[in-house]
Amino acid sequence: MDFNDSPEEAAFRAEARAWLAAHAPVHELPVGAKMPDTEEADRGRAWMRELYAGGWSGLTFPKALGGRGLSGIEAVIFAEEEGKYHLPKGPFTSIGTGMALPVIAKHGNDEQRARFIEATLKGDITWCQLFSEPAAGSDLAGLRTKAVRADDGSGDWIVNGQKVWSSWAHLTDWGILVVRTDPTVPKHKGLTFFVVDMKTPGIETRPIRQISGASEFNETFLTDVRIPDANRLGAEGEGWACCMTVLMGERLGSGAHRSGVEPLLDFAAATPDGHGGTMLDDRSIRQQFAEALAEEQGERFFQARLRTMVSKGENPGALAGMVKLAYASRYQKTNGLALELRGLAGIAPEAGDTATGDVQYDYIYSTVMRIAGGADEVLRNQIAERVLGMPGEVRMDKDVPFEKLNG
């Protein structure tokens, strides 16, 4: 066991650090900066182009497809070094690299790989995910958006339905889309997976106003949207396997973060308690900090164990959900504590107090982290069933053709 870099890894880290020192500062965002969505997305694309030009995009993708053909550990090292900067990377870039590209690489054909992978790594194409629907979130396979073959013999598909919670759908170029193509078979079997150009006529995105005040999610309405069969990924009826590939990438990507416990400690240690000491003298606060630190370290080192597994070619399976499950709740607790430590200023900071503003945002945002990418309850089921081998949930819809289901 070694937590440190091997000599080769250390050399790679030094190379990454030097390149980032020369290129990242130009793209760095001011902390607490608020800017229009379009500007943030443009900055994201520009950073992707810079990464590609420098040879740092798609580290784990094969060289033949525009990547660098490296192991997972190098990708982690680069992400750690990149994480030291405040760069414009967001869902508008990571959905492409972390979710669309793995499914295209695994389930797509050569033509699709050639068409999309390098263009995405370059920042020329950005992606959104068209999965959830108003009645299909945790029960994703219950989706109703349907595709039928056009009756003109072209082989094209005509799609009708509604998707929801599609992050950045209003600003991205392409979407990964799962739809129902056969309602006469049980729900997991009648799904087919597509990539869709978001500029296709019949696609309308409407922003959803979120509790944070932002509108990064959308409802997406699809009305007689025509998709060529060449944009189908994998076989007709095998869309569920594609979804699983995407969700695995999402789980592994949504891992532990060093989420601000240390700066919060500094804040507590510097804030008077009114009795001649600081907020950090309070035993209950010390206990909460210690618990948060121990949990944060545990998440980080568990993630390190998963990365080691991945680098050895092992599949962590449902273990990948454990970090997200632990992290999301702790993130909520930590930001709740952070607001409390600020006293009344936590609920109404003075103008210019961007640090408190960020904590408020994170506290609100933490609620969606416990839902997105697998709700807490779904992840607990997966851990119980796939890690501990406990019985599956009672399923009333098993083996029932989708069209015969109620509701």
Smallest gap from Cβ 280 to other proteins, in A, equals 6
Site for other proteins in 39-98 (CB under 8 A): 73, 76
| Minimum separation from the CB atom of position 2 to other proteins (A) | 5
Map the footprint of other proteins across residues 323-362, applying CB under 8 A: 325-326
Stretch of 40-48, 139-147, 227-235, 289-297 contacting other proteins, by CB under 8 A: 289-297
- Phi (first) and psi of residue 380, to 5 degrees: -65, -40
236 DSSP 8-state letter: T
11 lines the binding site for other proteins (CB under 8 A):
no
Q: Which of 11, 21, 244, 387 binds other proteins (CB under 8 A)?
A: 387
Which residue in 18, 33, 348, 390 binds other proteins (CB under 8 A)?
A: 390
Chain positions 121 to 180 lying near other proteins, rule: CB under 8 A, are none
In the complex, least distance from residue 369 CB atom to other proteins, rounded to whole angstroms = 15
Shortest distance (Å) from residue 251 CB to other proteins: 14
CB 370 within 8 A of CB 329: yes
Shortest Å, Cβ 388 to other proteins:
5
> Is there binding between residue 189 and other proteins (CB under 8 A)?
no
Query: Rg (Cα) of the chain, in Å, rounded?
Result: 23
One residue of 236, 238, 358, 385 binding other proteins per CB under 8 A: 385
Give the nearest distance from C-beta 322 to other proteins in angstroms. Answer: 5
Answer yes or no whether residue 381 interacts with other proteins by CB under 8 A.
Answer: yes
Binders of other proteins in range 253-282 (CB under 8 A): 262, 265-266, 269-270, 277-278, 280-281
Nearest distance, CB of residue 377 and other proteins, angstroms: 7
Those residues whose C-beta lies under 8 Å from the C-beta of residue 38, and which sit 6 or more positions away, are 171
Closest C-alpha among 327, 338, 397 to residue 362: 338
Instruction: State the minimum distance, in angstroms, from the CB of residue 294 to other proteins.
Output: 4
Residue with tokens 């990377």: 89
DSSP-derived 3-state class of residue 280: helix
Question: Which one among 293, 371, 375, 400 touches other proteins, defined by CB under 8 A?
Answer: 293
Return d(Cα 200, Cα 1) in angstroms, integer. 52
> Taking the complex as a whole, how short is the minimal distance between the CB of residue 272 and other proteins, in angstroms?
11
* Nearest to 136, CA basis, from 239, 248, 209: 239
- The count of chain residues that interact with other proteins, using the rule CB under 8 A, is 58
Nearest to 51 by CA among 72, 26, 14: 26
Window of 114-122, 124-132, 165-173, 283-291 that interacts with other proteins by CB under 8 A:
283-291
Cα separation, 339 vs 188, whole angstroms: 43
Backbone φ and ψ for 265, nearest 5 degrees, come out as -60, -45
5 binds other proteins (CB under 8 A): yes
Min dist. Cβ of residue 332 to other proteins (A): 15
Half-sphere exposure of 13 (CA within 13 A, CB side): 14
Q: What is the DSSP letter of 97?
A: I
**How far is residue 78's CA from residue 89's CA, in Å, rounded to a whole number?**
14
Could you say which residues in the range 197-226 bind other proteins, by CB under 8 A? none
List, in sequence order, every residue forming a beta bridge with 222; answer none if it has no partner.
161, 203
The secondary structure of 333-387 as a DSSP string is: HHHHHHHHHTGGGGTSPPTT-HHHHHHHHHHHHHHHHTTTTS-HHHHHHHIIIII
Q: Using the rule CB under 8 A, which residue among 393, 396, 399, 406 binds other proteins?
A: 393
The residue among 29 and 318 lying less far from other proteins, judged by its C-beta, is 318
Q: Which residues of 292-328 are buried (b: 16+ CB within 10 A; e: fewer)?
A: beebbeebeebbeebbebbeeeeebebbbbbbbbbbb
Query: Three-class SS of residue 125?
Result: coil
Specify the amino acid at residue 123: G
Which residues within the stretch 301-330 sit at the binding site for other proteins (CB under 8 A)?
A: 301-302, 304-305, 307-309, 312, 319, 322, 325-326
Q: Which residues of this protein are in contact with other proteins, per CB under 8 A?
A: 1-6, 9, 73, 76, 262, 265-266, 269-270, 277-278, 280-281, 283, 286-287, 289-291, 293-295, 297-302, 304-305, 307-309, 312, 319, 322, 325-326, 377, 379-381, 383-385, 387-394
